[in-house]
């Protein structure tokens, strides 16, 4: 099994009723709360089924996007990092994650300056890519590189196409050699040295998938992506995500995953 995708623990946060007002890049309508809750519960069940022990936190009604726990923090077996999300409405989320991270990690490090969302951070076998976006600025990315260096990781800044919300909205690592990426992101050359499976035209919304242990969680409504993952020999678990996709959810951003000793 891919070591980089070997996980036994995860932190999630249940959505509150306010989730229907979550941020979104487009001008779409609000999702129905019960649908978001049921998609989130199915996601949690899929992680548990993949062998992860879950810490599920209570909703934070004052933060509609708080279920996206991988934006205000990042975790590694060595340490957790509390980030500084770029959206003003999400700026306070990290403080609510910190006590849980302190219980579960020996070291919790704060990003000192700038802004960075975990959704812009893609772990690759030889480096940690940090995408610049409307949420992650150069100051935050450079500060994150310095923090990562203290725990033994090499961070590298990546320029991403303007229309991309987060780096991981448009790409996912599938195994040690392969990424799934939109054509526009792959064209920037940031995945040089890796095999790239390009997202079929029209299915860009499905580029965020989550490899966890022996399986890949992917959106159920992207048949050609599912087919490409299957053809690559992956064990694909399609999940309903139509409601959470209305607030730009990704499978990666709804949990913090790591391999605890």
- Is residue 4 packed enough to be buried (19+ CB in 10 Å), middle (13-18) or exposed (0-12)? middle
Q: What minimum distance in Å lies between the beta carbon of 7 and ligand GLY?
A: 22
Q: Give me the 54-93 binding string for ligand GLY, x by CB under 6 A, dash otherwise.
A: -----------x--x--x---------------x------
Q: Is 37 one of the binding residues for ligand GLY (CB under 6 A)?
A: no
| Host H or E run for residue 96 | helix 93-104
Judge whether 253 counts as a catalytic residue: yes
Handedness of CA 214, 34, 243, 57 (dihedral sign): negative
Q: What minimum distance in Å lies between the beta carbon of 114 and ligand GLY?
A: 17
Q: What minimum distance in Å lies between the beta carbon of 89 and ligand GLY?
A: 9
The CA angle 130-134-139, to the nearest 5 degrees, is 55
- Order across the sheet with 121-123: list the strands: 121-123, 128-132, 155-159
Distance CA 259, CA 52 (A): 9
Binding segment for ligand GLY among 20-28, 146-154, 189-197, 214-222 (CB under 6 A)?
20-28
Select from 54, 87, 53 the least CA-distant residue to 72.
Answer: 87
Q: Which is nearer to ligand GLY, 134 or 236 (CB)?
A: 134
Q: Which is nearer to ligand GLY, 25 or 149 (CB)?
A: 25
SS3 at position 113: coil
Q: Could you say which DSSP state residue 116 is in?
A: B
Judge whether 232 counts as a catalytic residue: no
Active-site residue, selected from the candidate residues 40, 115, 166, 221: 166
| Minimal CB distance residue for ligand GLY | 23
Q: Which is nearer to ligand GLY, 5 or 135 (CB)?
A: 135
Spell 24-61 as b/e; 16+ CB within 10 A means b.
beeeeeebeeebbbebbeebbebbeebebeeeebebbe
What is the footprint of ligand GLY within residues 239-258 (CB under 6 A)?
247-248
Q: Which is nearer to ligand GLY, 50 or 244 (CB)?
A: 244
- Please identify every residue annotated as catalytic: 166, 253
Q: What does the binding site for ligand GLY look like in residue numbers (CB under 6 A)?
A: 22-24, 65, 68, 71, 87, 247-248
């Amino acid at each position: 099994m891919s070591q980089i995708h070997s996980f036994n623990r995860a932190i999630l946060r249940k959505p509150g009723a306010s989730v229907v007002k979550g941020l979104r890049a487009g001008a779409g309508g609000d999702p129905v709360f019960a649908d978001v809750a049921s998609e989130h519960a199915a996601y949690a069940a899929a992680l548990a089924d993949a062998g992860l022990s879950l810490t599920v936190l209570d909703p934070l009604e004052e933060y509609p996007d708080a279920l996206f726990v991988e934006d205000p923090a990042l975790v590694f077996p060595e340490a957790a990092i509390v980030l500084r999300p770029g959206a003003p409405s999400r700026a306070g989320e990290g403080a609510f994650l910190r006590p849980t991270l302190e219980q579960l990690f020996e070291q919790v490090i704060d990003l000192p300056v700038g802004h960075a969302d975990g959704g812009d951070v893609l772990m690759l076998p030889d480096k940690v890519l940090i995408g610049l976006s409307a949420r992650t600025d150069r100051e935050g990315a450079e500060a994150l590189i310095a923090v990562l260096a203290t725990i033994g990781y090499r961070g590298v800044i990546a320029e991403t196409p303007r229309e991309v919300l987060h780096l991981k909205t448009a790409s996912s690592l599938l195994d040690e050699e392969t990424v799934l990426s939109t054509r526009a992101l792959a064209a920037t050359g940031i995945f040089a040295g890796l095999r790239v499976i390009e997202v079929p035209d029209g299915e860009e919304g499905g580029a965020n998938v989550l490899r966890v242990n022996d399986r890949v969680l992917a959106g159920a409504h992207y048949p050609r992506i599912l087919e490409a993952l299957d053809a690559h020999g992956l064990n694909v678990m399609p999940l309903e995500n139509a409601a959470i996709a209305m607030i730009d959810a990704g499978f990666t951003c709804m949990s913090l995953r790591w391999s605890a000793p």
